[in-house]
Structure formats: C-alpha cells, structure tokens
Structure 1
Amino acid sequence: MTAPHAHTPAGPVRVFTDEQSWDALRSERLGRLVTSVGGRIDVVPVNYLADSGRLLFRTAEGTKLVELSIENRVVFEVDHIDPGVSGWSVVVHGTARTLSTSAEIAEAEALDLVSWVPTTKYNIVEIVPTEISGRELMFGDKPDA
C-alpha cells in the first residue's frame, strides 16, 4: 500500500498535510530511528506501527534503550518509492519513552506490532510526535532549460 498521491500542476513536489503524513506512516512498517547522545548521532532501522497519533516499536535491551533513557528527543523517518512514478518521505520529531504500565503494555500487545527479527524484544517504545512533515516527489523528465 502506498500513500495517496496525484500529479498536480503545482509542480513535482507536494507537501503533505498532517493527515496525509499519517496515512503514509500507516502504509509502511519500516522506518529509521535517529538518536543523539553526547554528540554522537545514530540511525537504526526499526519496524514500527503507527497507531492513534503515535509510533510504536519493539526493542531488546541495548544501545537504543540506553540512548533513549539518556535523551528522549528523537527523529523518525519513513520513505517509499514507486519506481518511475513518485516517492515520498515523512519525518517525525518527537519524544520517546518505554511503555511501563501493565495497561499500556497490554494495549500495545493487542496491536499488530511484531518484530521481523526472531529475537525476544520485551520493550515497547512509544514515540509521541511534536512535529510531523511529509512530502511527495513526482518523478519525470528534467524540466526544459
């Protein structure tokens, strides 16, 4: 499933509304988490779920959790390409936290949030956006000079 798009006379770049950005996020399952701690920036792929104005992903103990416990401000990016037609990208700035109460964990467990890698991942991380932006690029011939 891809994000909704239409070729427009306005040009090859279309800025998404917030709702279009959420539609795009819900259409994919792989994104990139960007963290920054102590001047070091890390980018890691994670499979995720967009649900009720937030992003959720599972993770095992390790670097991601340590970094999120030190600095909870993150960036999350998702993109998609329809070869020869169009591509889009959505960037989410937000705060991340590990779900901790039994009620919120049970709610997340009821969703279709599965890890692609067959390892045990007991931790569920929630990203609550503070800013979301998306855009679509229409591919085509170079403009006339």
Structure 2
Amino acid sequence: MIREGKVQDIPQIIDVIQDSIRSCVEDHHRHENIIQPWLERYTDAQLISEMLYNDCWVYLIHDKVVGFIMVTDQGEIKMHFVATHAQKMGIGSALYDYMLQQMSNKNVHKIEVKSTLSSLDYYLHLGFQNYGPSGLEESQKLYKYLF
C-alpha cells in the first residue's frame, strides 16, 4: 500500500535508507569510510525538514515501511529507497509510478534524479536519459520528459 509519508514514519524510513545504502556495493565497495558519511546525511532533523518542503510517499507491507520516494514540486527526485529484502518486487517502480501520477496532476513535465552507479540501470530502465556529460562519476544527473 502506498500512502503519504508522515513524521512518525521517519525512524522506519531511516532504517530503509541505511539498509539500502549498505546494499549499494558498486558505489562504496563496502568501505566504511565511504558508507559512514552517506549514512550520516540522513537524520531525523534532516528528514523532518525535507518532508516539510517536498512530497513524500511510503510503501507499506504489514504496516511497515519498506520503500519511499521524495520529490520536489519541480520534479526532482530527492530520495528513492527500497529495503534490500523488498527489492526486485516492483515496490520501487510502484512508488515511482505513483509519484509520476502526482507530478502529472501538478503539470510537471520533467522528472530529474541524481543517480548512483548502483541505481543507474534501474533509472535507465524507467526511461531516464543522461543529457549531460557521461562517465563513471560518483553520480549522474538523469532526466525524463513527460508528455
């Protein structure tokens, strides 16, 4: 089930983020000195602030958050994470499709995301394209135009 994210969801959202980040081996190669700064970016205070200014939806299984997506009013995906045990089940795509519907209702015509190497194939599969310089940077900005 997908519903709007709530402040009460933040502890579970942080669990999903931490689990998902640790699974992105292609990006950090299991080096704790790389993983820790990523994990430290996501705090209760930071998520409360982000939730005030952006749209956030969570995917629940048995009342537990297993995925979420956050997007700006301009169509920039700020965060999109799915717990490792719930990946490859269509949860990320369901959240993405739900977000697209909401953005379409707001007349947003372009979605953008800053993709890590681990999630690059996922976003390319969703139809995103890299319109900027390509290469093996830490992250790439991708765009998808909606018509």
In the superposition, the TM-score normalised over structure 1's length comes to 0.24
Please tell me whether Structure 1 or Structure 2 has the larger radius of gyration of its CA atoms. Answer: 1
In the superposition, the TM-score normalised over structure 2's length comes to 0.24
Structure with more of its chain in strand, by fraction: 1
Structure with more of its chain in helix, by fraction: 2
Say which structure, 1 or 2, has more relative contact order (CA 8 Å, 6+ apart). 1
